[in-house]
Every structure is written in C-alpha cells, then in structure tokens.
Amino acid sequence: MERDKNFILGVYEDEDVLMDAVVKIRKSGVKIHEVYSPFPVHGLDEVLGYRRSRLPIAAFMFGLLGTSLALIMQFYMMKFDWPMIIGGKDHAAVPSFIPVTFEMTVLLAAFGMVGVFLITSNLKPWSQPRIFDIRITDDKHVIAIDLAANAALGEEKISDVLKNAYASEVNKKSFV
C-alpha cells in the first residue's frame, strides 16, 4: 500500500521562466517529480533529462507480430483449412495476401502502441489522477517536487530553491 505523498509545488506564469527554473532546480540537486503544463513546451523534455521514448520499438514489434500472424493465418486457411484454387493460382499465392497482411500489421501496431502507452503512463480506468493544481489546465505551469525523494534537502531548502527560481507561488500538497 502506498504511503502518503507530500509535494512542494512551484507555480510559474511563463514557459521561458519555467525552462530557466528547471535548469536552476536541477543544478541545485533537487529531484523534480514532474512538470505540468497546459500546453507542450518545446525542449522541456531535454531540460528535464528524459530519454527518448521506446514506443517506436514497441510499434515495430507489434507490427512484426501482425505481419507474421496475418501471413500464417492466410497460409493456413488457403493451404490446409479450406484449400481453394482461384483462377488457377497456387494455394499460397503471397501477392494476394498483401492487403490483409498490411491491415493486420497496422491494426496490431496501433492497438499494441495504445496498450503499451496506457500501461507505461499508468492510465488505467480505475486509477485516480493526481491533480496538483487545477490551473495547469488553463494558464499555469507547475513543477512538482516529491519531498520523500528529496528528504535530505528538507522542505525549507526546496521552498527557497523554488523561490530563487522565480516561482510566482510555492505551495505544499499532500495526497493520501
């Protein structure tokens, strides 16, 4: 069971100030839990130190699975399950398999990517989202710092770092 989570929030008005604040906060040794923004901020993922997503690898693997399953399914149906000679062609005429193979590849790649994204993002239908500040959907940017991950620094030091990084507000939020 997850224990209570305590966060210190730095609220920012402008994305340029936010970018500078992330750099200052990371240089001071504070571990940032997450940055929430009402719109995408170009370059924020690089400044936060996020690695490149591995979702394209998952898409390729699921597409490969779709291609394999489509070819095996069609070959089995046309050769063993219900063999038919259509227009004097061979039972396993691979060129006629291309449309179904393409569709199955796209279908499994899309469903696989959606499934992997939902699992890795912890977006299950029964999970409750953490809303740090309702204004992140409108016009504010919020930097959330987990106090448990930064226990050595202390709450006062983290608040000072956020204030020195030009936060317009510094708040504390607890989740059960």
Same domain (yes/no): 101, 69: yes
Same domain (yes/no): 47, 99: no
32-52 pLDDT, tens digit each: 999 999 999 999 999 999 999
Number of domains in the chain: 2
Q: Select from 100, 120, 140 the last residue of a domain.
A: 120
Assigned token pair, 132: 């740090």
Beta strands in the chain (DSSP E): 5-12, 34-36, 141-146, 169-175
113-130 pLDDT, tens digit each: 999 999 888 888 888 878
Task: Give the domain range for residue 37.
Answer: 5-52+131-175
Q: What is the pLDDT of residue 130?
A: 82
**CB proximity list for 132: less than 8 A, separation 6 or greater:** 7, 9, 36, 142, 144, 173
Answer for the pair 10, 146: CB distance below 8 angstroms, yes or no: no
Q: Give per-residue burial for 23-40: e unless 16+ CB within 10 Å, then b.
A: eebeeeebebbebbbeee
Question: With pLDDT > 90 as the criterion, what percentage of the chain qualifies?
Answer: 69
